[in-house]
């Protein structure tokens, strides 16, 4: 390793070090080793983030967040040689979290919207629609408390998965599973009500 002096700062040239050596040094708080790891893996992290997100600005922001997260948790990495795979897992996980938390952009061409809007309503449609609503509400009343609260929060109150995660104090994955299960139970209750 060569010692390099730049202005009044002295640091080691770590460009010849292996990734494992850099990880070990970075785990001790060596900023130069962290910088080398960043330089070596930044493009790879950025490309994965872009593939996942499809947006260049978001991918750049995510890649910065990934390195911050990785360097904060670097002491948890027990096998320094596994740094590349460990970093990829962080990118994938954080990209998935970002995608599930961002609102889905909606754009509709005005002409298409006008062409699809129809105002054909007859009295029978109104009666059937009213009966379906009553049946759904009866089915909701027959569900367990958690299933009912989950469905009401999402469909009637219009809460996002993030908001539900906060209000139910549960991870987003758990909220998604609860919604899936509650919808199936509601469908079953509605089928039972129709059979009666």
Domain containing residue 172: CATH number: 1.10.10.10
**Is 183 part of any domain?**
yes
Please answer whether residues 189 and 143 qualify as being in contact, where contact means their C-beta atoms are separated by less than 8 angstroms.
Answer: yes
pLDDT in tens, the chain (196 residues): 444 444 333 345 677 789 999 999 999 989 999 999 999 999 999 999 999 888 899 999 999 999 999 999 999 999 999 999 999 999 999 999 888 887 666 666 666 666 666 555 555 566 556 677 777 778 888 888 998 898 888 877 888 888 888 889 999 899 999 989 988 888 888 777 666 5
The predicted structure's pLDDT at residue 28: 92
| Full residue range of the structural domain in which residue 75 is found | 3-101
Task: Name residue 135's beta-bridge partners.
Answer: none
The predicted structure's pLDDT at residue 190: 77
**Is 112 part of any domain?**
no
Q: 173 and 135 share a domain?
A: yes
The total domain count for the chain is 2
Last residue of a domain, one of 74, 101, 128: 101
The predicted structure's pLDDT at residue 3: 44
Q: How many CB atoms lie within 10 A of CB 45?
A: 23
Q: 49 and 76 share a domain?
A: yes
**Domain of 11: which CATH number?**
1.10.1740.10
Inter-CA distances, 108 with 1, 41, 105, 115, 118, Å: 59, 39, 10, 12, 16
Q: How far apart are CA 171 and CA 136, in angstroms?
A: 27
**Is 115 part of any domain?**
no
Last residue of a domain, one of 72, 101, 130: 101
């Amino acid at each position: 390793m060569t010692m390099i002096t730049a202005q009044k700062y002295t640091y080691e040239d770590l460009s010849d070090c292996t990734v494992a050596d850099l990880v070990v040094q970075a785990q001790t708080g060596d900023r130069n080793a962290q910088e080398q790891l960043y330089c070596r893996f930044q493009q790879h992290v950025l490309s994965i983030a872009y593939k996942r997100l499809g947006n260049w600005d978001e991918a750049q922001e995510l890649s910065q967040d990934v390195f911050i997260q990785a360097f904060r948790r670097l002491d948890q990495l027990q096998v320094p040689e596994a740094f590349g795979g460990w970093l990829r897992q962080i990118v994938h996980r954080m990209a998935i979290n970002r995608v599930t938390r961002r609102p889905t952009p909606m754009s509709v061409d005005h002409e298409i919207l006008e062409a699809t809007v129809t105002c054909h309503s007859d009295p029978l449609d109104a009666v059937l629609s009213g009966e379906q609503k009553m049946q759904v509400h009866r089915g909701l009343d027959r569900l367990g408390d958690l299933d009912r609260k989950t469905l009401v929060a999402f469909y009637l109150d219009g809460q996002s998965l993030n908001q539900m995660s906060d209000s139910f104090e549960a991870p987003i994955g758990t909220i998604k599973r609860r919604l899936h299960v509650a919808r199936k139970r509601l469908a079953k209750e509605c089928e039972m009500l129709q059979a009666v």
